[in-house]
Amino acid sequence: MKNIVWIMAAAVFMLILTACANPAEDENEQENQDKKENSIEEPEQSKGTSYENIYPLTGEPADDSVNQRVLSVMVNNHTDARPQTGLSQADIVFEVLAEGQITRFLALFQSKIPDVIGPVRSARPYYFKLAAGYDALYVYHGAASFINEMVHASGVDFANGALYDNDGKLFKRSTDREAPHNSYLLTSGVADLLANKGYETTKEVKPLPFAEEPSSKGNDAKQVSVVYDERETVTYTYDAASEQYKRSSDGEPTVEKETGNRITVDNIFIVKTEHRVVDDAGRREIDLTSGGEGYLVQKGQIIAVKWKNRNGRILPYKDGEPVSFVPGQTWVNIVPDRSGIVTAE
């Protein structure tokens, strides 16, 4: 069995993969290249299909309208909050460190909206910046006063669950868990919220780039582990029959609370970037603008890419060209640049 190991721990070993973009031969060529990099390619609809539309965040066909507002929700990932509700229906999930070595999710819903999502947790600046890249409604439950002020000043449309706590219309508290791990969003109340706050209910959502097959040949990746900490490791295991990856957290399968169904994903996008602890509470600042190294995992393969921020979205590039996602759900793991990633055939 062939093993391929990348470990980005500065004290141990550093593997740097670089992609060389072709230099522009003249100013016009450079201008065209800049325009291309700053654009988001639209997915191509498969020939012979009879579907009216394509969902912009999954690349999957749809008979219905696809201009519904993106809903983004802060979802708790503390061990006491597992298993969660609604994650299996998210188009995109961002997983990022909050305080300490515990991650938190920003789940984006557009093609499917579950009835209940949660547990919902408090805001952090880098999460609502990610939400803004999709012009999404940003839903969270509570925050420090200065972070609430940042949310208000950012211009993002938002709903703070602390203002609707257990109202039975937009939020409810479950009785099987203790606070702060038991607050859930009731999506049936979102339409009234949007109307009452004067927010737009529909939006034209720019599509992500999609292709039916990976655009670059990579190395075999039957299992991928993303190490945030020795106590916080995410593992994706490839299922060749479905061409999807099954997710586990700290050795335990990630499942839906109500059904027990396993969380599976089609794309895993690993983003390495600088993290800095900025206060005594352990809050962080995370660089989402400078670009850097990353990996894209699809259909049993892993390829080294560069990530770039394009109009607020974190996207993969290789040799200066956008790299397409395969149709389906995407999980984005944003990790400190010192973290280790291990893949094995």
Residue-wise pLDDT for 73-82, tens only, equals 999 999 999 9
Where does a domain end: 133, 165, 197? 197
pLDDT recorded at residue 280? 74
Q: Angle, nearest 10°, between helix axes 125-132 and 145-154?
A: 20
Residue 208 has pLDDT above 80, yes or no: yes
The pLDDT tens digits for 80-139 are: 999 999 999 999 999 999 987 889 999 999 999 999 999 999 999 999 999 999 999 999
Percentage of residues of the chain with pLDDT beyond 90: 74
Find, among 58, 190, 201, the residue nearest to 114 by Cα.
190
Do 334 and 234 lie in one domain? The reply is: yes
* pLDDT at res. 8: 38
Asked if residue 152 is part of any domain, the answer here is yes
- pLDDT bin (cut points 50, 70, 90) of residue 279 is confident
Residue 229 has a pLDDT of 81
- Please give the Cα distance from 314 to 130 (Å, whole number): 8
User: Of the candidates 143, 172, 197, which is a domain's last residue?
Assistant: 197
pTM: 0.86
Residue 27 has what pLDDT? Answer: 45
Q: Is residue 56 part of a domain?
A: no
Is 281 domain-assigned? Answer: yes
What was the pLDDT predicted at 114?
A: 98
**Does the residue 119 lie in any domain?**
yes
* Residues 145, 99 share a domain: yes
- Domain containing 292 equals 3-14+208-344
Looking at residue 246, its pLDDT comes to 98
The residue type of 123 is A
Q: Worst-scoring range by mean pLDDT, 255-264, 274-283, 315-324? A: 274-283
Whether 164 and 224 map to the same domain: the answer is no
Residue 29, pLDDT score: 47
Q: Please state the domain count of the chain.
A: 2
Local confidence band at 262 (pLDDT 50, 70, 90 cut-offs): very high
User: What per-residue confidence (pLDDT) applies to 50?
Assistant: 60
**Of 197, 224, 242, which residue sits at a domain end?**
197
In a domain, 48, yes or no: no
pLDDT of 294 over the 90 cut = yes
pLDDT at residue 344 above 70?
Answer: no
Percentage with pLDDT > 70 across the chain: 83
Is the pLDDT confidence value at 21 over 70? no
Residue 44 lies in a domain: no
Q: Name the burial class of residue 69, with classes exposed (0-12), middle (13-18) and buried (19+) by CB atoms within 10 angstroms of its CB.
A: buried
Query: Does residue 16 have a pLDDT over 70?
Result: no
